[in-house]
Amino acid sequence: MTIYICKTFISSYPNKTPTSFLSLLFFSSSPKPTNAVAAYLIERQKFSPETASKVSSSIKSPNLKSPEETDSILSFLKESGFSDTHLERVIKRAPRVLFANLERSIKPKFKLFQELGFSSSDVVETVLSDPMILTSSVDNRLGPTILGLKSVFGSSMKVSRVLKKCARILRYDLANTMIPNIEFMKSCGISSLQIAQFVYSTPTFFFFKPTSIREYFRRVDEMGFDRKSKMFLHAIRAISTMTIEKWELKLELFKSLGFSEDGILSVFRKQPQVFAVSEKKIKGMTQFLLSTGKCDISYVVNNPIILTYSVENRLKPRLRVLEVLERRNLVLKNPSLRTLCSMTDEKFLHNYVLPYSDEVGELLTARPH
């Protein structure tokens, strides 16, 4: 049927070459620009129809005030290091850039970054992290915020490192969030180095209201944490990711699996990040560990890091390998479950698979994933 239709179509256009026919066949069904903005992006800037459609549907104005001004903005971005793919990402997330003024709005932002010592690639990565910063005010938002960050971190290089990971930080009024939160953490004995590392790893934490941060510290203090402990900030981070209701559900889950209240508290003190693991993963790993007969709840309480690993992709395959080795008396002593889980794939293969590959070929099929 398809061939018949194609032949009929070709016979209707006897003067068309095969190439012309293919153009008619494939391009006649392409989505037409829905307005002037979409047409501009597709025909003048070579954006994909999908991106053009999304951008045009997200803005109120169906027309550009000045296509030439928009040309100059996009040309400037290309000259500043943005690729065509980068431009699509920027405009898709910040369509208002199309209506900006190059001299009064766009260039001052790049000048600010350059004056602060950002390299061209730093600027590109920062903007790609959050293109909406191109629509923010230099005087009222970007300038004060970046200077505030520099006062915290001490150098433009460190500020750049934070912004490349989370440029969204520039949208916030740091004078009412980050700065008071940092000052509070310092008053609690948290060192500047620890705070800087915390900002690098979890910048959004500092967007919380200062009252919320104080409450997280209060709750962790009540659990008996030493603020000088390496786990203290991990505990703060874990608490901050859960509502009170979510926290209570986690406690109920541990109790249902056989953990005592003291045991649950011990798990949290030793490995706070376990509480960020999904309920399904915690339940699956605990039940599997107990089913092996190789440990009890007290072992899990003393080695909670085990709960962060995968049953199917790590523990089960490795146990199968060790079972084969045991049956053939090829190992004198098995590693502990904690060691078995935490060992890298490379080390496990080197210690327990490759040395026996000639004698026990089936081990190769039981390689860990």
According to the model, what pLDDT value does residue 7 have?
A: 40
The predicted-structure confidence for 154-207, as pLDDT tens digits, reads as follows 788 888 888 888 888 887 778 888 889 999 999 999 998 898 889 888 888 998
According to the model, what pLDDT value does residue 168 have?
A: 83
Tokens, residue 312: 């199917």
Lowest mean pLDDT, pick from 38-42, 83-87, 182-186: 38-42
According to the model, what pLDDT value does residue 27 have?
A: 35
Please report the sign of the dihedral spanned by the C-alpha atoms of residue 353, residue 351, residue 358, residue 326. negative
Question: Tokens 């919320």 label which residue?
Answer: 212
Is the Cβ–Cβ distance between 30 and 52 less than 8 Å?
no
The predicted-structure confidence for 274-311, as pLDDT tens digits, reads as follows 998 999 999 999 999 999 999 999 999 999 999 999 99
**299 closest CA partner among 327, 340, 333:** 340
List domains and CATH numbers for the chain: 1-30 (no CATH), 60-170 (1.25.70.10), 311-366 (no CATH)
Query: In whole angstroms, what is the distance from residue 352 CA to residue 246 CA?
Result: 40
Residues 89-93: contacts with CB within 8 Å, 24+ apart?
89/128, 89/131, 90/127, 90/128, 90/131, 90/134, 91/41, 91/47, 91/51, 91/55, 91/131, 92/51, 92/54, 92/55, 93/130, 93/131, 93/132
Is the Cβ–Cβ distance between 175 and 148 less than 8 Å?
yes
Q: What is the overall mean pLDDT for the chain?
A: 84
**175 closest CA partner among 206, 142, 148:** 148
Query: In whole angstroms, what is the distance from residue 192 CA to residue 183 CA?
Result: 10
According to the model, what pLDDT value does residue 34 have?
A: 55
Instruction: Indicate the pLDDT class of residue 359, thresholds 50, 70 and 90.
Output: low
Give the residue with greater pLDDT, 216 vs 193: 216
**132 closest CA partner among 92, 159, 177, 161:** 92
Q: Is the pLDDT of residue 16 over 50?
A: no
Instruction: Indicate the pLDDT class of residue 25, thresholds 50, 70 and 90.
Output: very low
Instruction: Using alpha carbons, list the distances in angstroms from residue 251 to 28, 221, 256, 301.
Output: 60, 18, 9, 14
Instruction: Indicate the pLDDT class of residue 362, thresholds 50, 70 and 90.
Output: low
Query: In whole angstroms, what is the distance from residue 126 CA to residue 113 CA?
Result: 10
According to the model, what pLDDT value does residue 115 have?
A: 85
The predicted-structure confidence for 97-143, as pLDDT tens digits, reads as follows 998 999 999 999 999 988 888 889 989 998 998 999 999 888 888 88
Query: In whole angstroms, what is the distance from residue 50 CA to residue 201 CA?
Result: 34
Tokens, residue 96: 């208002």
Rounded mean pLDDT, 330-341: 89
Q: Is the pLDDT of residue 365 over 80?
A: no
Q: Is the pLDDT of residue 144 over 90?
A: no
**233 closest CA partner among 264, 191, 261:** 191
Rounded mean pLDDT, 40-45: 89
**56 closest CA partner among 74, 80, 73, 31:** 31
Tokens, residue 54: 């999304």
Lowest mean pLDDT, pick from 35-49, 58-72, 212-226, 245-259: 58-72
Please report the sign of the dihedral spanned by the C-alpha atoms of residue 21, residue 22, residue 24, residue 25. positive
Tokens, residue 248: 């209570």
Q: Is the pLDDT of residue 363 over 70?
A: no
According to the model, what pLDDT value does residue 62 have?
A: 64
According to the model, what pLDDT value does residue 18 have?
A: 41
Rounded mean pLDDT, 219-223: 93
